[in-house]
Amino acid sequence: ELENIRFEGMYEKEMKSTFEQYLTIRKELGKNENPVTMMDLATILPKYFSTKNLLHSFYHSKENNAATIEINVDINGENEKWLLLFKNETHNHPTEIEPFGGAATCIGGAIRDPLSGRAFVYQAMRISGAGNPIESAKKTIPSKLPQVKITREAALGYSSYGNQIGLSTSLVNEIFDEGYKAKRLECGFVIGAVKKSMVKELDPIAGDIILLLGGDTGRDGIGGASGSSLQHNESSITTMQSEVQKGNAITERKIQKLFRKKEATELIKKCNDFGAGGVCVAIGEIAESVEIDLNKIPLKYEGLDGTEIALSESQERMAVVVSKKDADTFIKYAESENLKATHVADVTDDGTLKMKWNGSLVLHLKRSFLNTNGATKKTSVVANVDRTYANNAGSFNKTNFLQVLSSKEVASQKGMVEHFDSTVLGNTLLMPFGGKYQWTPADVSAHFICDNTYTSKTISIASWGYHPGFTSENTYLGGMYSVVESISKIVAAGGNYKNIYLSFQEYFEKLGNDSRKWGKPLSALLGAFEAQMNTGAVAIGGKDSMSGSFNELNVPPTLISFAVTTEKSTDIISTEFKSANNFIYLFQLPVNDKNIPNWSLLKSTWEKIYNGIQSGKIIAAKHVKDGGIASTIAQMSFGNKIGAEIYTEKDLLKLNIGSIVIESKELLDPTFHLIGKTNFSANLEFNRVLISIEEAIASWTNTFESIFPTKTVSSTLLIPHISVTPKKIKNIGFGQPTVFVPVFPGTNCEYETAHSFKKEGANIISKTFNNLSESHINDSIDSFSKAIETSQIIVLSGGFSAGDEPDGSAKFIVNVLKNEKIKHHIHSFLDKGGLILGICNGFQALIKSGLLPYGEIKDLNTSSPTLTHNTIGRHVSQIVKVKVINDNSPWLQGMMNKTYVVPVSHGEGRFQCDELTLKQLIKYNQIATQYLDEKNQPTHVFPFNPNGSLFAVEGLINTNGNIFGRMAHPERVQNGRFKNIPDVEYHNIFKNGVDYFL
């Protein structure tokens, strides 16, 4: 409880006024007798706005797993009622002490909340905070990990988990502030959706069954929740590692697949994910009266006692309530997805929580006691805000401008961003970097609602806002401007500010009993409160962490505003300049002498921008932040290398949160200041200061090259032209083919791959390989064999076969293919003229099983070709250009010498073989597709050749042409995707495969 609240400093009047407004709302809602708390201040506005009938889309969930709104989704021209769930989550504490594992469980934990609401999670952002990752390791604080290690390994951990589960992460930003040396900021944000009719939120009743669904329980994560609230010291790195959970993306993917089954989801009465507190919380709070048998909890290994089982925070588990009559049916549905579902608890009616261990009652608590929420604590608060952000950008000249572009706050983070798969699921509207050259960063994450038909025109769009320097100087304005920034970014992309909902992430130092420290989050929340009241966009979700201290070092006051809305995909624009001879305008945020926005003018301008985008007048826009107007214009020019002439006297390098640069046809409105025009020169001209675009890009991209490279040493090996005689392949006239889409542990592209065949008229058989036990494995081998017998096409989809462990990619799939029964049926399938396609992980399986290039499953030798780690040493997710150089395959008929712009996303895609094997592949016309550079020539140069493949090989066929393997993902190119990449062309090998049998 907050008491003795006092406001001081130059914003005393404004903070008092906002706080009094909060008190008035409390009184109006009948909450005047309730204690004043931070939580109440943060959550009261949705309740207030609801009473005013202003939150038309807000969905009042009984389960409160994640912020939820009800939306209309346009599918095939029909509106369907869906629920959109979004959640932000930090794992600062575990990421600080174990960067890879901590960051991996951050995204895993964020996914679990909307997933427990039965939503399929398809969209993600990652916002992290660090000290200076490029500083010398000698500056590392004793008993701390170096910033470079935390930054690099946290990126690897988060991306590894997200990539494995098949989550499209399309916006990634690291924030830099020396305060984050106290403790890392590792924040994930996700969006999921589910058809409303599939969600049954019913009150559990006595006799209902509680199932533990998903992974087994281990000692990992015990004490993680309490540990995350502790201040770190010199011993933390060695004493707290056991508190880090061990994530398992593959298991969580299986839960996602199960929850997409309407027949399974409709059996769920209530669901709760496992996080802080483990069994105690996930099962303990799922019903008013519960009896838990700890001996029934499936374990990873022997030796855990009852306390450890009850408190373990092992991830990838769900508590599911079903009726007793439905329990066996649900368990069978789970088993069909290679998942365990175990009866571990029962709903009772005695008003208590009970736990049994080894036949004895070890816990017996009344629900009335649990609902007291513990002992009351009180603290005094002094909010003193007496400074404004000192912007020391300096005067504009070429030297200063290039230094600003290379500063860590402004410099490109592309080498880090490309670790994250941004195209999986085939629903990405905007790539992280846009334009022909993929250099202009997007300000928002935008994805189509992930429906089964891939026909939805509705997209979810998300952004974030926060500035550590600004908020450190003035927490009141900092909270306010976090909200403004998050909304402005969505407005600049084409979203309507009137339909935006927010979620907050607070992260502050350990507050203790210091009243002035307590004043920092209070003043930040008051600033955010004022922004919500004046914009109408309110926070319906959020998460907090109040432990950002290491001895005397503290994290900067952090309030991140996440903004979410939905729009039609056709109404969204991107950030890169589109063409020459367009006008460049600036909307500068109108503020008073204390930097508080003119809310009325701001909202009317947001509406003008929305209408300008809807009408087609505004064709590109980008929010202005660090580096000011000049940096924003430069980044807008990079993507298509379109020049600009700027003639404004405004401070070009100054921080301008909330301001927007616009490329447009003529806007006859004094709200927008004409500051320049675009042109086809290769230069940026700021008030006659001439800077080449290439020089600016070089400054902008070199800063983080040592830790997140974007360049490789190019091979000097020449790639001679390959001449292949086109070959006409006659269709066999079989009729409508059946495509077998096997799903292995780690497969994550089966939905978009199956859809690509289905829309061409194929029948689809999809079966999951079950390895829960030896008998399940044998049953799977039998069912796979039967599916192969009845199919004409086999397609091995992309993913991470068993996590690509141990020792490289596709090992699990290869072991299945080499099973004697499967091997026999595949060889028989090929003899009868069947077609096989392998994409990415599927291509790796074809290569490592011998199906490519040999056309049969066989053991490999030292001269066999392989696919190995990318030359750049990391995962690469981007768009590339490929050329079909060989159409001696049903898959490639009619495509000879055509080029296609397609996504790639892999860490092991570099084709390698010895010289003799390469000559044989060329001789027998087995090189099918090659990577091309800007001049449409095959290349070894990154990024055009994303993995450094020998001879620019992107895809291979066998000598008969009926097996085709490739690294790029044409199945991810659906209608309307990749709006900020010009010339994306659908490489429809799927139609060719189907037509071969017609």
**Catalytic machinery residues:** 840, 969, 971
Q: Which residues contact 502 (CB under 8 A, 6 or more apart)?
A: 483, 486, 532, 537, 538, 539, 540, 541, 561, 562, 563, 564
Q: How far apart are the first and last CA of the chain?
A: 73
Q: Which of 877, 896, 994 is nearest to 166 (CA)?
A: 877
CA–CA separation, 921 vs 928, rounded Å? 10
Angle, vertex CA 318, rays to CA 314 and CA 320, nearest 5? 150
Q: Which residues contact 828 (CB under 8 A, 6 or more apart)?
A: 789
Please count the other Cβ atoms lying within 10 Å of the Cβ belonging to residue 957.
28
Q: What is the residue-wise DSSP string for 741-791?
A: EEE-TTB--HHHHHHHHHTTT-EEEEEE---SSHHHHHHHHHHHHHHHHT-
Determine whether 280 is exposed, middle or buried from the number of CB atoms within 10 Å of its CB (0-12, 13-18, 19+).
middle
Length of the chain: 998
Determine whether 375 is exposed, middle or buried from the number of CB atoms within 10 Å of its CB (0-12, 13-18, 19+).
exposed
Q: Which of 866, 800, 835, 770 is nearest to 995 (CA)?
A: 835
Structure-token pair, residue 797: 């989809």
Collapsing DSSP to helix, strand or coil, 21 comes out as helix
Q: Which residues contact 41 (CB under 8 A, 6 or more apart)?
A: 22, 522, 525, 526, 529
Q: Which of 906, 905, 903 is nearest to 981 (CA)?
A: 903
Cis peptide before 943 (omega within 30 of 0): yes
Helix axes 12-28 and 38-51, enclosed angle (nearest 10): 60
CA–CA separation, 319 vs 344, rounded Å? 9
CA–CA separation, 417 vs 173, rounded Å? 8
Cis peptide before 853 (omega within 30 of 0): yes
Its sign, for the CA torsion 686, 691, 693, 698, is: negative
Residue at token pair 């959550």: 43
Residue at token pair 């706080």: 19
C-alpha pair distances (Å), 509 with each of 156, 179, 236, 470, 555: 27, 10, 16, 17, 6
How many Å separate Cα 562 from the centre of its chain? Answer: 13
Its sign, for the CA torsion 978, 979, 980, 981, is: positive
Structure-token pair, residue 467: 């500035």
C-alpha Rg value of the chain to the nearest Å: 28
Helix axes 599-615 and 475-493, enclosed angle (nearest 10): 20
Collapsing DSSP to helix, strand or coil, 729 comes out as coil
Please count the other Cβ atoms lying within 10 Å of the Cβ belonging to residue 787.
18
CA–CA separation, 654 vs 588, rounded Å? 12
CA–CA separation, 735 vs 42, rounded Å? 61
CA–CA separation, 790 vs 739, rounded Å? 9
How many Å separate Cα 868 from the centre of its chain? Answer: 26
